[in-house]
């Protein structure tokens, strides 16, 4: 009876509302800086993975370059705030827009090339981004990265402590969720899924598949740009090593482990599991990828659709 | 004036002429059948009409407008909807979502309305949902609307694919071997359904091997062999045509 209620529309919103209230209350009970910092990293990955799910889970495009769009957002905010005196909000906005524009440009070839070639393009773009960030020293300060990114202020309120950043991040996360929910509940979300399922059939349903692939990809990148902007002010430092291929892979694994597709919140389960795992094994850095790989294999063996994925991905 | 008018449609694959100068017309509210042995070029012809392939030469006119070589999604918007010989439902999503996707190009919900006019956007989506539910009721799939498409029986998936095509309110519906893999009871149900659609004003082109089905539903039949139009006539004329029988008997010996 209760489960029935929680599956109804009101029930779902009530559940989400309850969850939000709990998340808002977290800093009242958790004062440990270390734990808060882990929560903040989880928030950043959650924003990234929700966007990636639109690209991978809905539209079926494999992007190995998501970290580069994250990086574009981070560097945009870092450079605008350190050199051009931008405030956080305008830098945040610029980061999102620039990451989205880059997403549009990278997604343009999807009109012509097959999925596997597109995957290689995103891989190449990710590497090019990292190389440029490392080599273009005058602009990005190379491997040393951009440091002393100013403290962000939102409508005059300075964001200083881990708790402040927690609330800022949570705000961006909720915004991401609501935006993606609004989009995917319409014919646009269904069109993305149609492309994943059968692109030719989608075409004959009157879906301009080239355009929709670019849309899904660039919307996903928009949120990566927001996450990057947040990372920049949160860390106060950005370096090229924040945006390696390994990061892109980690995001994909998080989405798969959590569960891709319709359920927008499912990837967050993957974020939690993998962030905790990487923290626990932080001391054994060289085994990190091994542990991550093992987790992924374990989950895929036990629940092929991901922890919270719908059964539709079970073959 | 015919609703569909093709002139000398040709489709070549390298040296192979799969479709050779086919001209045909389809009038409003008519069911035109296309028969012919395997490899005759029926599917290629339909693909050239619906934008899956660009015709090598010839023209397609639909409702008086030329649509030759347009991309498939634009042709769908013009009002031609189709099913596929080898079934292409969206397997991993629900029956309901399949048909909702079929209605995609008739849902008047511009992207910016999602944010700027959210109530209108929701209303339009809900109207589409209600129309789709009526459609599902008509074909008896309403109870299974939450099932994944791949969990339906083969015959039901065929019906679902037709239902998805109908969701775009097509002015011309093209069915490519809708009976393939159906048992004879399912086939009779389908024949009744197709005739009911015609009675409601639907214009249909249907490709099918099964002669009993074709004789039951077609107003006019076109016979294709080796890419070209071989005969055209009423079902009775086609049935009594000795040369057509030869083509078909030859085919059945091979099978
Ligand atoms: N994409 C393609 N590339 C090359 N040859 C093709 C292609 N599609 C169909 N053909 C060829 O065109 C001919 C007609 O095929 P088809 O249109 O499928 O016939 P039918 O539907 O009447 O059985 C066949 O010889 C087939 O091998
Ligand atoms: Mg065929």
- Taking the domains of chain A in order of start, what are their residue ranges? 31-243
Angstrom distances, CA of residue B19 to CA of A71, A288, B47, B214: 52, 58, 10, 22
Judge: B114–A201 Cβ closer than 8 Å, yes or no.
Answer: no
Residues B185 and B163 in one domain: no
Domain-embedded: residue B225: yes
Judge: A204–B76 Cβ closer than 8 Å, yes or no.
Answer: yes
Final residue of a structural domain among B168, B188, B222? B168
Measured between alpha carbons, how far is B44 from B25 in angstroms, rounded to an integer?
Answer: 17
Final residue of a structural domain among B149, B168, B187? B168
Residues B186 and B133 in one domain: no
Judge: A312–B93 Cβ closer than 8 Å, yes or no.
Answer: yes
Domain-embedded: residue B84: no
Residues B61 and B27 in one domain: yes
Measured between alpha carbons, how far is A40 from A229 in angstroms, rounded to an integer?
Answer: 13
Q: What ipTM did this prediction achieve?
A: 0.91
The verdict on the CB of residue B46 being under 6 Å from ligand 1 is no
Burial of A119 (0-12, 13-18, 19+ CB in 10 A): middle
CATH code of the domain covering residue B185: 3.40.50.300
Residues B155 and B182 in one domain: no
Final residue of a structural domain among B105, B139, B168? B168
Which residues of B are less than 8 Å from A190 in CB distance? Answer: 97, 100-101, 104
Q: Which of B54, B66, B59 is nearest to B7 (CA)?
A: B59
Which residues of B are less than 8 Å from A204 in CB distance? Answer: 50-52, 72-73, 76, 81-82
Measured between alpha carbons, how far is B197 from B210 in angstroms, rounded to an integer?
Answer: 19
Residues B47 and B163 in one domain: no
Looking only at the bridges linking them, the beta strands covering B57-62 and B65-66 are antiparallel
Domain-embedded: residue B1: yes
Residues B212 and B245 in one domain: yes
State the distance from the centre of ligand 1 to the C-alpha of B251, rounded, in angstroms: 16
What is chain A's pLDDT, residue by residue, as a tens digit (315 residues)?
455 666 677 778 888 888 888 888 777 787 788 989 999 999 999 999 999 999 999 999 999 999 999 999 999 999 999 989 899 999 999 999 999 999 999 999 887 777 788 889 999 999 999 999 888 877 778 778 888 888 888 888 888 888 899 999 999 999 999 999 999 999 999 999 999 999 999 999 999 999 999 999 999 999 999 999 999 999 999 999 889 898 899 999 999 989 888 889 999 999 999 998 888 877 776 777 788 888 888 887 878 777 877 655 544
Q: Which domain holds residue B218?
A: 1-79+170-255
Residues B147 and B197 in one domain: no
The verdict on the CB of residue B218 being under 6 Å from ligand 1 is no
The verdict on the CB of residue B225 being under 6 Å from ligand 1 is no
Q: Taking CA atoms, what residue in B is nearest to A195?
A: B90
Residues B247 and B232 in one domain: yes
Measured between alpha carbons, how far is B166 from A208 in angstroms, rounded to an integer?
Answer: 19
The verdict on the CB of residue B43 being under 6 Å from ligand 1 is yes
Weakly modelled stretches of chain B, pLDDT under 70: 249-255
As a residue count, chain B comes to 255
Helix (H) or strand (E) holding A177: helix A162-184
Domain-embedded: residue B236: yes
Which residues of B are less than 8 Å from A198 in CB distance? Answer: 88, 90
Residues B49 and B130 in one domain: no
Residues B60 and B93 in one domain: no
Residues B110 and B220 in one domain: no
Q: Candidates B39, B82, B205: which one to mutate for ligand 1, based on the most atoms within 8 Å of Cβ?
A: B39
Number of domains, chain B: 2
């Amino acid at each position: 009876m209760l489960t029935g209620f929680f599956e109804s529309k009101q029930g779902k919103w009530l559940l989400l509302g309850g969850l939000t209230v709990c998340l808002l209350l977290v800093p009242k009970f958790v004062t440990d800086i270390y734990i808060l910092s882990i929560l903040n990293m989880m928030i950043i990955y959650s924003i990234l993975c929700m966007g990636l799910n639109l690209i991978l889970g809905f539209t079926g495009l494999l992007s190995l370059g998501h970290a580069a769009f994250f990086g574009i957002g981070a560097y945009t905010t870092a450079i605008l705030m350190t050199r051009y005196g931008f405030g956080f909000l305008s830098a945040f906005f610029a980061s999102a827009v620039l990451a989205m524009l880059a997403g549009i440009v990278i997604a343009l070839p999807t009109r012509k090339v097959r999925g596997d070639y597109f995957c290689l393009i995103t891989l190449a773009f990710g590497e090019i981004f990292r190389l440029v960030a490392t080599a273009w020293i005058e602009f990005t300060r190379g491997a040393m990265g951009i440091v002393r990114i100013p403290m962000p202020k939102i409508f005059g309120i300075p964001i200083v402590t881990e708790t402040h950043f927690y609330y800022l991040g949570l705000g961006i996360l909720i915004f991401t969720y609501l935006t993606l929910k609004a989009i995917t509940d319409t014919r646009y979300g269904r069109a993305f899924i149609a492309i994943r399922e059968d692109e030719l059939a989608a075409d004959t349903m009157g879906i301009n598949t080239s355009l929709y692939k670019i849309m899904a990809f660039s919307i996903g990148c928009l949120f990566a740009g927001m996450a990057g902007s947040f990372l920049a002010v949160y860390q106060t430092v950005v370096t090229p090593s924040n945006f390696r291929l390994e990061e892109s892979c980690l995001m994909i694994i998080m989405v798969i482990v959590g569960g891709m597709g319709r359920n927008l919140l499912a990837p967050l389960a993957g974020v939690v599991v993998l962030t905790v795992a990487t923290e626990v094994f932080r001391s054994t850095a060289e085994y990190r990828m091994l542990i991550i790989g093992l987790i992924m294999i374990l989950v895929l063996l036990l629940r092929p659709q991901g922890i919270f994925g719908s059964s539709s991905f079970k073959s | 004036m015919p609703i569909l008018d093709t002139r000398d449609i040709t489709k070549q694959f390298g040296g192979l002429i799969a479709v050779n100068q086919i001209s045909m017309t389809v009038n409003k509210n008519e069911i035109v059948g296309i028969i012919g042995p395997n490899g005759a070029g029926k599917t290629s012809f339909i693909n050239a009409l619906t934008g899956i392939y660009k015709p090598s030469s010839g023209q397609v006119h639909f409702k008086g407008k030329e649509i030759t070589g347009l991309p498939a999604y634009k042709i769908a918007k013009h009002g031609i909807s189709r099913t596929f010989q080898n079934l292409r439902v969206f397997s991993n999503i629900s029956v309901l979502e399949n048909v909702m996707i079929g209605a995609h190009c008739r849902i008047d919900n511009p992207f910016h309305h999602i944010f700027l006019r959210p109530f209108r956007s929701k209303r339009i989506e809900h109207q589409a949902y209600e129309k789709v539910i009526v459609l599902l009721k008509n074909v008896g799939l309403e109870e299974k609307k939450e099932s994944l498409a791949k969990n339906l029986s083969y015959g039901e998936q065929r019906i679902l694919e037709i239902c998805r095509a109908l969701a775009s309110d097509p002015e011309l519906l093209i069915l490519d071997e809708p009976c393939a893999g159906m048992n004879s009871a399912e086939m009779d149900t389908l024949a009744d359904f197709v005739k009911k659609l015609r009675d409601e004003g639907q214009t249909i082109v249907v490709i099918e091997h099964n002669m009993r089905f074709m004789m039951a539903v077609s107003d006019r039949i076109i016979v294709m062999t080796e890419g070209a139009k071989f005969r055209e006539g009423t079902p009775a004329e086609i049935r009594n045509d000795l040369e057509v029988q030869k083509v078909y008997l030859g085919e059945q010996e091979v099978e």
